[in-house]
Structure 1
Amino acid sequence: MNRDSNAYTFLFAAIMVLVVAAALSFAAVSLQPMQNENIRKEKMQNILHTIGVETERDQAGEEFEKYITEQVALTSTGDVDPNVNAFEIDLTKEIKKPIEEQRFPLFIADVNGEHYYIIPLRGAGLWDAIWGYISLKNDVNTVKGAIFDHKGETPGLGAEITQSWFQQRFEDEKIFDQSGNFVGVTVQKGYSGGNNKDDNAVDAISGATITGDGVTKMIHDRIQYYLPYLEKQNVNVALNK
């Protein structure tokens, strides 16, 4: 075939596309197990972070086994489903199901004799999904810690939910009001409460109102499904009980 012809050029380009596509496909398949393992370890790191345990990725599995004493998948009525692995629940898919069909993963930790309940979160920000974890102290009212992440929030604005200075605002906040009603924690624009930990609110990120509202809704909407289980465990989940 004439190497100067258009047919040769097109054939050569087509072959190169196929070769490159095959190489990329092989690389993706080969690296998938490693990528899945990194995702698994990062998930463990995030869960541990909410209870004040910081660890390197390579040590995440060992630390997770050390501090996480229970992993349960809950139904909407607060019962434990023994047939579902809590760690393997994908909230991206789960939240699309009817509530009665969903399973709600809960991680229970013990750190130096202190018990914590870690709840995975999933919601919507301004542009796309937001997610994270929030841990509650043994009174099931006080936040121990929180961590958030996002898919496509605006850098310098909504994307700041990943920053430690924002996440630290949730520490020691209450999810029940003083009358014992579950209200969650509100990310409040124009907040003037200072360091008040009993007003169920934290200061919002300037210029990121919609993302902040998404965090507020995400916390409230996800935690509410865990209250039936906690009540069944004879945990005092309401201050007026």
Structure 2
Amino acid sequence: MSSQKESTARTLLVALLVCLVCSVFVAGAAVALKPTQLDNRLLDKQRSILAIAGLGNPGMPSAEVKAMFDDTIKARLVDLETGKFSDEYDPVTFDPLAAAKDPQLSKRLPAAQDIASIRRLERYTTVYVVEKDGQVDTVILPVRGYGLWSTLYGFIALQGDLNTVVGMGFYQHAETPGLGGEVDNPKWTGQWPGKQIYDEDGDLAVQVVKGGVNPQSPDAVHQVDGLAGATLTGNGVDHLLKFWLGQNGLGPFIANLRAGEA
């Protein structure tokens, strides 16, 4: 073998060995850090739930977030087919998003029903309840649906009347910063508290309108301003709320809970 060929072979061998060693380190780091990543995701979700429910302070340390969540909020599993609480799985460890991908735990939605563009609906989901004096004070419901570029994952919190909004927000999405990403803007999320989900006849009336809400309109109590320059994201939020708060989502559960039959 010529010296040039031998040098090339050695160079390739060294490069291969370096790649293998780096791969081992990267894989090891990924495995070692996975529990921490999962804990951080859970903490972020808990922080979002507390904020949407109007509990705690934005700058709370992680330990306080976990302590307040554990002391104040109770996770409950809901059977979306019956609209009632279920003991089928542990609501703390059950993953509705993973269940939505499992044909045994979910169903494909017909196009006419899938206004939120989620494709599959899980049989069970987890809701979060705050009780005071043995009565439901706040219920925090999971919502998700497609915006312009991504699926938005969030929660909407309702008062004990199961109609008045306490707060609404998203903990994960990939919408365009400055446009669809304005769903995170406190000025926009700040419009939600006090809004009414249903009208006097019990019909779903919540709406994200194009442009601004007319404060003189009798429907203003159900409406929130659209997102400037992000009509499709605003439409996505409107659609996902109508799905999850309607008859094909959590609507039957809300009705049962209001009637004391959940």
Measured against the shorter chain, the TM-score band is: 0.7 to 0.9
Unaligned runs of 5+ in 1: 237-241
Partner of 2:131: 110
Matching residue within 61, 67, 81 for 1:62: 67
Partner of 2:213: 192
TM-score computed with the length of structure 2 as normaliser? 0.80
Partner of 1:87: 92
Partner of 1:239: none
Partner of 1:209: 231
**Shift of the alpha carbon at 1:195?**
8.7
**1:207–1:101 CA distance, 2 compared to 1 (3 A):** closer
**Shift of the alpha carbon at 1:58?**
2.2
Partner of 2:81: 76
Query: For residues 49-88 of structure 1, what are the alpha-carbon distances to aligned partners after superposition, in whole Å with 9 as ceiling and x for unaligned?
Result: 1111124322222101221145233332212220222233
**1:79–1:178 CA distance, 2 compared to 1 (3 A):** closer
Q: 2:190 matched to 1:168?
A: yes
Partner of 1:36: 38
Which protein has the bigger helix share? 1
Q: 2:170 matched to 1:148?
A: yes
Cα distance in 2 for residues equivalent to 1:93 and 1:190:
36
Cα distance in 2 for residues equivalent to 1:233 and 1:110:
13
SS for the counterpart of 1:216 is helix
Aligned-pair identity in percent equals 28
Partner of 1:235: 259
**Shift of the alpha carbon at 1:234?**
4.4
Matching residue within 18, 23, 26 for 2:25: 23
Aligned length: 235
Q: 2:242 matched to 1:220?
A: yes
**1:175–1:94 CA distance, 2 compared to 1 (3 A):** farther
| Residues 60-69 or 70-79, more deviating | 70-79
Cα distance in 1 for residues equivalent to 2:128 and 2:240:
18
Query: For residues 1-59 of structure 1, what are the alpha-carbon distances to aligned partners after superposition, in whole Å with 9 as ceiling and x for unaligned?
Result: 96972111111111111111110111111111111111111111111111111243222
Contact persistence 1:116–1:137 (CA under 8 A)? yes
**1:219–1:62 CA distance, 2 compared to 1 (3 A):** same
TM-score computed with the length of structure 1 as normaliser? 0.86
Partner AA of 2:214 in structure 1: G
Contact persistence 1:121–1:222 (CA under 8 A)? yes
**Shift of the alpha carbon at 1:227?**
2.8
**1:111–1:206 CA distance, 2 compared to 1 (3 A):** farther
Cα distance in 1 for residues equivalent to 2:192 and 2:88:
33
**Shift of the alpha carbon at 1:155?**
1.2
